């Protein structure tokens, strides 16, 4: 088992856990946490492919991941703000109850 | 051009303005209405006198004095339609006559209509009539002539039907309007044809008018299908309208009925002026009627027709007048008869002969009608001559003037105008080369005229008063009693008794008219035919020798004998032995009951029309009604049914095919939408699940593809 495969396996596990959390948790904040996990799994993939790839000296993977983390921070901020707004409106953050778009 | 010829339009416009002002004023302002109407007529009369003097003073020049003016009315295509007026001796004479007679009748009307509540309306219509009639007289244009002619017809209708609450008056108005309309169709057709032929409707326009030489020569060379010159055909069409307006055979039926109007109306319209318009029309278009190829006989077809119609009308109407009992109807038939004379005069002797009789007749017939109005007024609206009698005592002024009018109409020799004008007509008829029959008809008519006028005057003014006012319904024995002791007794009947003389406002016009009825004759005696010369533009000198030429003196004697025979016969039958009661049969009725009945019923002309024209008309109307109701109505109904059937079919298709299909489609869509909307749960995590599953499926697919 090469280090790359190990990293990918961890990353896949992390993604699966994040997806499961995002899909199953009823609390909006926890679903957001799941999403963050999935994002970080992707970041781990970037790092792994860069570190064990053809040009580890080029710092490209690191650059993408730093951007990605910055975007994730912004996204988390927007997401949390939305959740607060939703809470103020519905007095709940239970995703099952927020179904006004139901056809 | 003289000032008056330039401003001739003022003459009809003044009464027109008066009529408009009266029309927009309130009902009660009688004084204003009378003042306006009479004032405008005075102005018109003064201007007419100016025009007349202009025509008179111009006589030194060569040819006929004639000045025309006009303006463009409107453009159609590349041509301008013009309106215009002309001042020539014919116009001048008619202007003076119309405005003067109108003026006197207006003044008379103030008295006659004093108690009528529609006094304003009366003067409005009368002024409108005067305006239209003066317009007819001055028109230099067949179009303007036609317009005024129709307004004259309209006012005639309005005034005959003035007392429209009387059914007979309403019917008479309708009859007059429709009958004259038949004639006016001829004028319209003639006018259109004339325009097509000559390209102008102006009578005189420095050689370009339709009555001047070049246009006439052009019309003479064109022939219609029947080999008649176009000028003749147009002349006959125009004459048709003159027949309608002047009450000639066979369109005379409306004129006697027109007596339903107030008496001043009868005097003004149906005796003196309007009915003369037809004669004036023929005189106006006389160049058209008389145009003939060089070398041919001067008696053209058109003039021959005019002559015969005139002569037949003269004798026909005169014979009817013998048997009438209504004072105004006698005068009405007399008018028809005299109009026949005028036509006869135009046909055989030219413009001057016919026009002279027109002018003299206008005065003495207006006098007679106003006199009869005075009589009717004095006898408390009684019109039946059998119920009058002995009025000489009660109404001396009316009697004297009426007698003058009657003698003028009868043609009493030497001193009365009717003698000279009628004599001139008879003289011309005697010299007519085509036939002598019109002359004999004219003589017979003259005899009858003298006879029926004597009968009327004898019945109205002589003998004893036969009626006790309105109470004429009581038994004959009682009437007899009263008649024997009349006029002393009749006064006892509740204020409705003795006839009384009319007020001065009515008698003064009578006196003035009477003076003219006498004096006017002297402008056209054979020894000094001034009128003839005036119209022709030739000065004439007094010359006794003309009396002996062309058997003039002999004819004058013959005519005098005829008149005296008529007067004597009338006096012998009606004057010497007065009828005693109202119901007593007429002398002629005793002698010739069947013939008298024929005359009394006006030769049954109305009945013949009722049996032919009117029945045909009614039949045609019924046929149209039948066609309308069953044929066209049936077709319409059929179409309706077809449309109804089709729409029923459409409805069925709509309800049972289209609707069901549509409903089913809608239902399916709705259910489909419902099903699909269930997927749209609004749960974000469900969507995420689906995305995850789809991702897995995608990955598996990609792997599977790589493998294969």
Average pLDDT estimate for A34-52: 91
Q: CA-to-CA distance for B257 and B339, rounded, in angstroms? A: 16
Distance set, CA B147 to CA B135, B141, B387, B643 (Å): 9, 10, 43, 49
H helices of B350-412, where? Answer: 351-378, 391-394, 396-410
DSSP string computed for B208-255:
-STTSHHHHHHHHH-B-TTS-BHHHHHHHHHHHHHHHHTT-TTSTTHH
The DSSP 8-state label assigned to residue A100 in this structure reads: T
Closest residue of chain B to A16, computed from CA coordinates? B692
Other Cβ atoms less than 10 A from the Cβ of A72: the count is 18
Residue B180 and residue B157 in contact, taking contact as beta carbons nearer than 8 Å: no
Distance from CA of B680 to the nearest CA of A (A): 5
Provide the sign of the torsion angle of the four alpha carbons A6, A9, A11, A14, taken in this order: negative
Residues of B in contact with A19 (CB under 8 A): 688, 692
Q: How confident is the model at residue B644 (pLDDT cuts 50, 70, 90)?
A: very high
Provide the sign of the torsion angle of the four alpha carbons B9, B12, B17, B20, taken in this order: negative
Give the pLDDT confidence of B450-476 residue by residue, as tens digits.
888 888 888 888 877 776 544 444 433
Give chain A's domain count. 1
Give the pLDDT confidence of B571-620 residue by residue, as tens digits.
888 877 777 776 777 777 777 777 777 777 777 877 888 888 888 888 99
CATH number of A18's domain: 1.10.287.3510
Assigned domain for A42 exists: yes
Please give the ipTM for the structure prediction. 0.79
Residue B344 and residue B435 in contact, taking contact as beta carbons nearer than 8 Å: no
Average pLDDT estimate for B238-251: 87
Distance from CA of A98 to the nearest CA of B (A): 7
The least confident of B29-43, B165-179, B196-210 is B196-210
Q: Flag whether the pTM goes above 0.95.
A: no
Spell out which chain B residues touch chain A, with contact meaning CB-CB distance below 8 angstroms: 676-685, 688-689, 692
Distance between start and end Cα atoms, chain B:
123
Q: Residue B60 has what pLDDT?
A: 57
Assigned domain for A45 exists: yes
Q: Choose from B671, B684, B699 for mutation: most chain A CBs within 10 A.
A: B684
Distance from CA of B665 to the nearest CA of A (A): 21
Q: CA-to-CA distance for B697 and B699, rounded, in angstroms? A: 5
Assigned domain for A8 exists: yes
Distance from CA of B675 to the nearest CA of A (A): 10
Q: How many CA atoms lie within 13 A of B123 on its CB side?
A: 39
Q: How confident is the model at residue B678 (pLDDT cuts 50, 70, 90)?
A: confident
Range of the domain at A52: 3-90
Q: CA-to-CA distance for B404 and B515, rounded, in angstroms? A: 9
Closest CA relative to residue B140, chosen from B239, B285, B304: B285
B307, containing H or E segment: helix B301-321
B458, containing H or E segment: helix B437-461
Identity of the residue in A22, A25, A95 whose CB atom sits nearest the CB atom of B683: A95
Distance from CA of B644 to the nearest CA of A (A): 47
Closest CA relative to residue B430, chosen from B531, B558, B574, B535: B558
Closest residue of chain A to B695, computed from CA coordinates? A19
Q: Choose from B674, B677, B682, B687 for mutation: most chain A CBs within 10 A.
A: B682
Three-state DSSP at B133 gives helix
DSSP string computed for B639-708:
HHHHHHHHHHHHHHHIIIIIHHHHHHHHHHHHHHHHHHHHH----HHHHHHHHHHHHHHHHHHHHHHHH-
Assigned domain for A34 exists: yes
Q: Residue B548 has what pLDDT?
A: 66
Average pLDDT estimate for B224-237: 80
Q: B600: Cβ–Cβ under 8 A, 6 or more apart, which residues?
A: B323, B324, B589
Q: Residue B497 has what pLDDT?
A: 62
Distance between start and end Cα atoms, chain A:
50
Closest CA relative to residue B138, chosen from B303, B14, B265, B243: B14
- Name the residue with higher pLDDT: B484 or B637: B637
Q: B326 has which bridge partners?
A: B384
Give the pLDDT confidence of B290-332 residue by residue, as tens digits.
877 766 666 788 888 889 999 999 888 888 888 888 888 888 8
Closest CA relative to residue B682, chosen from A35, A24, A25, A96: A96
Residues of A in contact with B682 (CB under 8 A): 98-103
Percent helix, strand, coil in chain A (nearest 5)?
80, 0, 20
Does the structure show a pLDDT above 60 at B31? yes
Residue B310 and residue B347 in contact, taking contact as beta carbons nearer than 8 Å: yes
Structural tokens at position B462: 């002589």
Identity of the residue in B677, B683, B689 whose CB atom sits nearest the CB atom of A99: B683
Q: A16: Cβ–Cβ under 8 A, 6 or more apart, which residues?
A: none
Provide the sign of the torsion angle of the four alpha carbons B146, B149, B153, B155, taken in this order: positive
Q: Residue B298 has what pLDDT?
A: 65
Q: CA-to-CA distance for B698 and A44, rounded, in angstroms? A: 22
């Amino acid at each position: 088992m090469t280090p790359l495969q190990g990293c990918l396996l961890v990353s896949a596990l992390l993604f699966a856990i994040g997806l499961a959390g995002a899909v199953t948790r009823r609390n909006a904040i926890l679903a957001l946490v799941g999403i963050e996990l999935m994002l970080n799994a992707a970041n781990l993939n970037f790092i792994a492919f860069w570190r064990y790839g053809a040009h580890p000296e080029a710092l490209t993977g690191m650059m993408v991941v730093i951007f990605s983390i910055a975007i994730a921070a912004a996204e988390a901020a927007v997401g949390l703000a939305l959740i607060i707004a939703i809470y103020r409106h519905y007095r709940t953050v239970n995703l099952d109850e927020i179904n006004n778009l139901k056809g | 051009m003289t000032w008056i010829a330039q401003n001739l339009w003022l003459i009809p416009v003044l009464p027109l303005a008066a009529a408009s002002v009266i029309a927009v004023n309130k009902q009660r302002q009688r004084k204003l209405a009378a003042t306006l109407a009479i004032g405008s007529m005075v102005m018109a009369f003064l201007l007419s006198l100016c025009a007349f003097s202009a025509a008179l003073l111009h006589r030194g020049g060569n040819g006929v004095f004639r000045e025309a003016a006009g303006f463009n009315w409107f453009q159609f295509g590349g041509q301008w339609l013009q309106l215009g007026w002309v001042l020539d001796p014919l116009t001048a004479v008619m202007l003076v006559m119309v405005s003067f007679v109108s003026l006197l009748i207006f003044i008379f009307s103030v008295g006659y209509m004093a108690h009528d509540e529609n006094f304003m309306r009366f003067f409005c219509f009368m002024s409108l009539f005067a305006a239209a009639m003066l317009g007819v007289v001055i028109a230099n244009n067949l179009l303007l002539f036609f317009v005024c002619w129709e307004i004259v017809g309209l006012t005639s209708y309005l005034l005959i039907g003035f007392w429209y609450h009387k059914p007979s008056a309403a019917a008479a108005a309708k009859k007059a309007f429709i009958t004259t309309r038949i004639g006016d169709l001829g004028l319209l057709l003639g006018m259109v044809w004339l325009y097509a032929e000559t390209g102008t409707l102006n009578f005189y326009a420095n050689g370009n008018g339709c009555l001047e030489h070049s246009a006439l020569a052009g019309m003479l060379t064109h022939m219609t299908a029947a080999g008649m010159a176009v000028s003749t055909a147009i002349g006959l069409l125009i004459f048709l309208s003159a027949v309608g307006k002047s009450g000639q055979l066979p369109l005379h039926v409306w004129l006697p009925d027109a007596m339903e109007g107030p008496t001043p109306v009868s005097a003004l319209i149906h005796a003196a002026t309007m009915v003369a318009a037809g004669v004036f029309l023929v005189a106006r278009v006389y160049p058209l009627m008389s145009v003939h190829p060089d070398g041919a006989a001067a008696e053209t077809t058109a003039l021959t027709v005019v002559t015969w119609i005139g002569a037949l009308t003269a004798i026909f109407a005169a014979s009817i007048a013998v048997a009438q009992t209504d004072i105004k109807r006698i005068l009405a038939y007399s008018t028809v008869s005299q109009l026949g004379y005028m036509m006869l005069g135009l046909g055989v002797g030219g413009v001057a002969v016919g026009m002279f009789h027109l002018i003299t007749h206008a005065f003495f017939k207006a006098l007679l009608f106003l006199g009869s109005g005075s009589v009717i007024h004095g006898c408390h609206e009684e019109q039946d001559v059998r119920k009058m009698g002995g009025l000489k005592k009660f109404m001396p002024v009316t009697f004297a003037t009426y007698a003058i009018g009657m003698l003028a109409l009868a043609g009493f020799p030497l001193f009365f105008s009717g003698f000279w004008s009628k004599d001139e007509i008879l003289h011309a008829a005697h010299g007519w080369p085509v036939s002598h029959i019109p002359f004999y008809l004219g003589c017979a008519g003259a005899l009858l005229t003298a006879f029926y006028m004597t009968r009327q005057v004898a019945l109205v003014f002589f003998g004893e008063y036969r009626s006790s006012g309105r109470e004429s319904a009581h038994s004959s024995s009682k009437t007899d009693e009263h008649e024997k002791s009349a006029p002393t007794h009749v006064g006892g009947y509740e204020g409705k008794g003795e006839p009384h003389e009319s007020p001065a406002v009515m008698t003064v016009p009578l006196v003035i008219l009477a003076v003219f009825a006498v004096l006017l004759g002297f402008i056209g005696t054979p020894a000094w035919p001034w009128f003839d010369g005036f119209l022709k533009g030739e000065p004439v000198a007094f010359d006794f020798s003309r009396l002996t030429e062309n058997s003039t003196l002999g004819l004058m004697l013959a005519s005098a004998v005829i008149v005296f025979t008529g007067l004597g016969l009338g006096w012998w039958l009606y004057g010497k032995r007065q009828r005693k009661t109202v119901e007593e049969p007429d002398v002629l009725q005793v002698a010739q009951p069947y013939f008298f009945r024929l005359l009394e019923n006006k030769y049954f002309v109305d009945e013949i029309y009722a049996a032919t024209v009117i029945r045909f008309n009614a039949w045609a109307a019924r046929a149209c009604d039948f066609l309308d109701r069953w044929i066209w109505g049936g077709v319409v109904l059929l179409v309706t049914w077809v449309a109804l059937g089709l729409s029923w079919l459409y409805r069925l298709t709509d309800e049972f095919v289209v609707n069901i299909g549509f409903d089913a489609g809608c239902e399916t869509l709705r259910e489909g939408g419902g099903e699909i909307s269930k997927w749209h749960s609004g749960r974000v995590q469900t969507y995420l699940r689906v995305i995850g599953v789809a991702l897995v499926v995608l990955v598996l697919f990609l792997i599977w593809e790589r493998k294969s």
